[in-house]
A and B are shown apart, each in its own frame.
Chain A
Amino acid sequence: MQPCSREMQAMNSLLSPTQQIPLQDLQPNGNSGTHQAQIHNPQFDPTSSHDDFLDQMLSTLPSCSWSDLKSPWDPPKSDETPPSNHDNNVGFHYDEILASKLRQHQINGGGGGTTAAMKMMMQQQMMLPGRPIAAAGGGGLTMPLHNDIVDGSSFKSPNQQGGEGSVQALYNGFGAGSLHGTNNQSPNQPQHFHHPQGGNMQTQSFGATAGTVMNQSQASGSTTGGAPAQPKQRVRARRGQATDPHSIAERLRRERIAERMKALQELVPNANKTDKASMLDEIIDYVKFLQLQVKVLSMSRLGGAAAVAPLVADMPSEGGDCVQTTAGGGGSLQRNSNGNQPSANNDSLTVTEHQVAKLMEEDMGSAMQYLQGKGLCLMPISLATAISTATCHSRNPMINKGSSSNHPLLQSNGDGPSSPSMSVLTVQSATMGNGGLDGSAKDAASVSKP
């Protein structure tokens, strides 16, 4: 029941007779906090070094037992005798003495105890057997003891040990509840408690909980709220981060997608769009455009000479239209030269084609503008077929035959009066064709009348 009896005895032996404490009264429970018999504190050296000294000491301690130590005793600073609210354990007189001394030291700055001595004493305390808390709390608890001892020079090391044992007993009972004790203290004392506690906590992590608690208490001025808040703080995720595995996975996925989008942005020109949807649109258009370019180039490679005279229709169509209609080759690119170039000059057309291809690489819009400037445009074969049949001009049906359509269209285009009508028709059918070919409204909107 009293594991610290040994220490108590030793302590008792050294204490003044008046301070003899019946061992049986010792209770290593939380009541320890309440035990505050009259305490003889013959050796009080009120100094005024205050908190900085204490912080120094405390920073070396591996525990935050401060609060525990402090909590049971809340006599006012000026009071050298601990309040009698802790009368349960008479045997803890010397504990109280020590505690009060500690308090005194805290209040007064603790005099000039050497940290080395403190550490030594701490270690001694730490070595006390059977006290898991000793490591954690003993250090802190012993600190005041050391203070007392060093300053008071009245206690010898055995006393310290004994005191430490008792203090540990006290401390054992404290647990988290000891924190509450701090609230009971006078306003002056909490400051001291919190201050050293804060110093402790910052350097130590007493169970990692007390530290946070202490810090919290410092901030809030109340340690009670710290203990329950600690677990909450632990569990509650930081803003923007979730602890839920699903949301974490979701976040990872989103991040990866954002990464890819950024990479794509560099590849695709006109990638200044911040909107994901528009960015995707841009990417899609670009892919279509590149595929179209491959087709165009493969066409032009057919000798670049008389074999293929590129035909350009009047309808500026997005590359997507042509691609849509291809579906594996159905729609090759056709270019119908308009009245601007009455003679189907293959070379010039080829040059134009290359120009267009070059422009298309940079900017589809500029390519279209270039074509329009020349009175040309791109058009899918099916559309050209529809146009040719619709205009009732006698020409060979253009069914996936790139070059065959050249001549008939050229012939028809050569007609001055017919070209405007055809162009109009082209636009109209293009509008319809667009709707039929590609359901997206934007393509229809892009059709422009020459």
Chain B
Amino acid sequence: MSTCPSDSRPTLRTIVENSLVVLLQGLHGQVTTVDLRDESTARGRVVNVDAYMNVRLADVLFRDRRGRVSRLEDLFITGRNVRYVHIPDNLDITDTIEKQLGKISRMRNYETKNPQSQPKTCKICT
């Protein structure tokens, strides 16, 4: 059963488990290219991807839609503006998804059995 809070909005965890965002979260630390809706591209190291597909990259080579290139130390792309995220060729997609789901599930199991020591924020899903 999915977990839905009283306001009937799905939890972040539910969103992550039921979409391919979970694959993107497996890219932490990897260098990849993100194509934006306006056809600019950003290539850098994935720092974080949240449930809304907001992507944070570091050490970025940014090519704007006019083709002008610049370096950005830290970049945050709003999920709505993401068109593609390139998955590195050497990444095993199924394996990555399973591992990410496993981490989330174990954290949930841990929280269920240890409610008093539940962390305030889920660092995977936020």
Q: Do A and B bind each other?
A: no
